[in-house]
Amino acid sequence: MTSRSIVRRIVFAAIALVMLVLAALFALETWHEPGSDIQSAPVADVQQQVARGEYLAKAGNCMACHTSRGGEKYAGGRAIATPFGQIYSSNITPDRDTGIGVWTSNDFWRALHNGKSRDGSFLYPAFPYPNYTKVTRADSDAIYAHLRTVAPVRQDNLQHELRFPYNQRALLAFWRVLYFEPGVFEPQAAQSAAWNRGAYLVEGLGHCSACHTERNALGGTVGNANLAGGMIPMLNWYASSLTSDAQSGLGDWHTRDIADLLKTGVSSRGAVFGPMSEVVAGSLQHLSDDDIEAMAVYLKSVPHAKAAEKHAGVQVSGNAKPILEKGARLYEKHCAACHGVDGKGAPPAYPPLAGARSLTTRSSINSIRIVLNGGYPPSTAGNPRPYGMPAFRMLLNEEEVAAVVSYARSAWGNQGGLVSPVDVARFGAPPAD
């Protein structure tokens, strides 16, 4: 046997071994379904279960994704932009032909817990089942019971518009091996009841890590950077750190301030804008004070993790003094009346800029977009008439925006650094319709 023949056999054997391993992984993900032995418990009060399910559906913000703009609630059709193409949310009304009318509570549990549809096909993780797997069977059954009571809507699901090879569902088997581990949330005996409740909501139904954790090139969350902040794919908003880091996270926030922000959209430390406004308006403001407090307690304990640095802007070289002096003049002219010469603002109407997390992150994208496009916190029961930030797109050019943002990121002890006009041009696109 020649050396070439030996090499060829080794190569063929290696390929066969790899194929065998891939086939085994595919089979494992296809047929192995942890939690399938967890059955529904008898329910004494069905009406109470339905009401509980409605509350939990709001906690999970289900309607936000499963309702298109101007469409019937829960009828699906909302486009979810991803780096791999467009995904459309599904109809989860009880229509028998186009919704989930023929689904059982077991089918629904399978979707939440194992990320599989009724026919066993893999669901795309735009549906955040890596978080929802932590939901208990009782809560899954309650949400299912609530959805059975909404008005059925006959509306066909739209086909996803994903590029090859991402449109091949079978490949999700290998994604799941890397980034999905099914399992109901397990309370920690050493922690308080409030901490455990908060962890259940934040890590499970609230699926906070879906936005507040960096994602890699395959769309998987970076495990060692849980809740350390990350760019929301395709939306061009940076979801800030929710860890206990004092500089970029919630380490120096009082629990009360966190709870106020979650419940009303404003607090003495800042206000929410962008995608988080929708979360507060459609979901968090409807949660009980106890649940909001529990989430705040848990978030205060999340260990510091290092966020990715790939979103840092273009480095500004040269003398910073003229940039900051120009920014100071612009700030005094356009910003000081609301946010104060000292940057302390007048919360909750006018958020403080001194120590603001959005100004101290490595990415300046949120600050740039707010200056250019303006924005409002959500209108909530706790803040029904929110004050807004006017847009300065038509008043300031790119160099002026860069200067005033650079000043705000560097003044009053902030250590956010300078901003380049290049980043203003790159990040400053008008908000999408």
Question: For the segment 22-32, what is each residue's pLDDT rounded down to a tens digit?
Answer: 555 545 555 56
Cis bond before residue 125 (omega within 30° of 0) = no
**Alpha-carbon distance 227 to 211, whole Å?**
8
Tokens coding 199: 């962890």
**What pLDDT score does 156 carry?**
96
Are 246 and 360 within 8 A, CB to CB? no
**Alpha-carbon distance 325 to 54, whole Å?**
53
Lowest mean pLDDT among 8-12, 163-167, 246-250: 8-12
List pLDDT tens digits, range 269-294: 999 999 999 999 999 999 999 999 99
Q: What is the DSSP letter of 81?
A: E
2: region left, alpha or beta (phi > 0 left; psi from -120 to 50 alpha): beta
**What pLDDT score does 30 carry?**
56
> Predicted confidence band at 433 (pLDDT cuts at 50, 70, 90)?
very low
Give the other-Cβ count within 10 Å of 195's Cβ. 17
Query: Smallest Cα–Cα separation from 132: which of 234, 53, 203, 232?
Result: 203
Q: Which residue has the tokens 């019971």?
A: 145
Residue 122 CA from chain centroid, whole number: 21
**Alpha-carbon distance 431 to 433, whole Å?**
7
Average confidence score pLDDT of the chain: 89
The pairs formed by 411-414 with CB atoms below 8 angstroms and a separation of 24 or more are 411/324, 411/328, 411/331, 411/343, 411/353, 411/354, 412/342, 412/343, 412/353, 412/354, 412/355, 413/354, 413/355, 414/343, 414/353, 414/354, 414/355, 414/356, 414/359, 414/360
Cα pseudo-dihedral 136, 137, 138, 141, rounded to 10: 130
**Alpha-carbon distance 403 to 326, whole Å?**
6
List pLDDT tens digits, range 76-94: 999 999 999 999 999 999 9
Residue 38 has pLDDT above 90, yes or no: no
> Predicted confidence band at 363 (pLDDT cuts at 50, 70, 90)?
confident
> What is the average per-residue pLDDT within 193-205?
98
**What pLDDT score does 311 carry?**
57
pTM of the model: 0.89
Q: Give the neighbor-by-neighbor strand order of the sheet with 85-88.
A: 79-82, 85-88, 161-162
Tokens coding 331: 């700030």
**Alpha-carbon distance 125 to 115, whole Å?**
8
Tokens coding 365: 């994208």
